[in-house]
Structure 1
Amino acid sequence: MSTTRTMKLITGILEAILAIPFLGALIILSNSWMPLIIMLVLHIITLALAVRVKGPLAGSVVGIVASCLGWIPFVGWMLHAAAAIVLLIEVYSRRLQRR
């Protein structure tokens, strides 16, 4: 598995955890929003890796938006869910597996 796919898988799983309605909010609020900053950094790293191999960028971009707007109730939940779905689709897409 390539580094890009591994990072997309890790960030996708973490986004899926943050998208769990009460658990995600509890994780974010109990850690003073630090998980959003950590996820932002991970998404930027993943985006840089995807750019380097000319892979799909949508998941990382949605993840960056989710990290920036994740503090807004319900909007953050929807964005985390969308980021998780897009990232995990990108991990298992044929286009990325060839790289």
Structure 2
Amino acid sequence: MNRSSIMKWITGGLEAFWALPIIGGSLIISMNWSPLVVMLILHIITLIISVNEGKNKHGSILGIITSCVAIIPGLGWTMHTITAVLLLIDAYRSEKAIEIS
């Protein structure tokens, strides 16, 4: 498993957690939106690793956008959900591509 796949599993899993309507939203608000800053940093790191490895970067780019607009409650939930699905699918596909090679 390559580093970009590992980071996509991690960021995708965290995005899925933040997408939980009551739990994720409550934690983000109670921590003064600091999880969004942490996620922004993680998405930037994942993007850099993906570019260096020549892997898909669209999930990380969407994650960066999500971290910036997730302050808006309904939009935040939607964006976290879409980003989580995209990152997890991309991580899964990357693993399958490595197994086939």
> TM exceeds 0.5?
yes
TM-score, normalised by the number of residues in structure 2: 0.92
Task: For 1:63 and 1:72, locate their aligned partners in 2 and report how far apart those are by CA, in whole Å.
Answer: 15
SS in 2 for 1:80: helix
CA contact (8 A) 1:19 1:80 kept: yes
| Equivalenced residues, count | 99
RMSD over aligned CA atoms reads: 1.6
Q: Structure 1 runs of 4+ off > 2 angstroms?
A: 94-99
Q: Where does residue 90 of structure 2 map in the other structure?
A: 90
SS in 1 for 2:73: coil
Task: For 1:97 and 1:70, locate their aligned partners in 2 and report how far apart those are by CA, in whole Å.
Answer: 32
Q: Where does residue 74 of structure 2 map in the other structure?
A: 74
Q: Is 1:52 matched up with 2:45?
A: no
Q: Where does residue 42 of structure 2 map in the other structure?
A: 42
Question: Is there any run of 5+ residues in structure 2 with no aligned partner, and where?
Answer: none
Q: Taking every aligned residue pair, what percent have the same amino acid on both sides?
A: 42
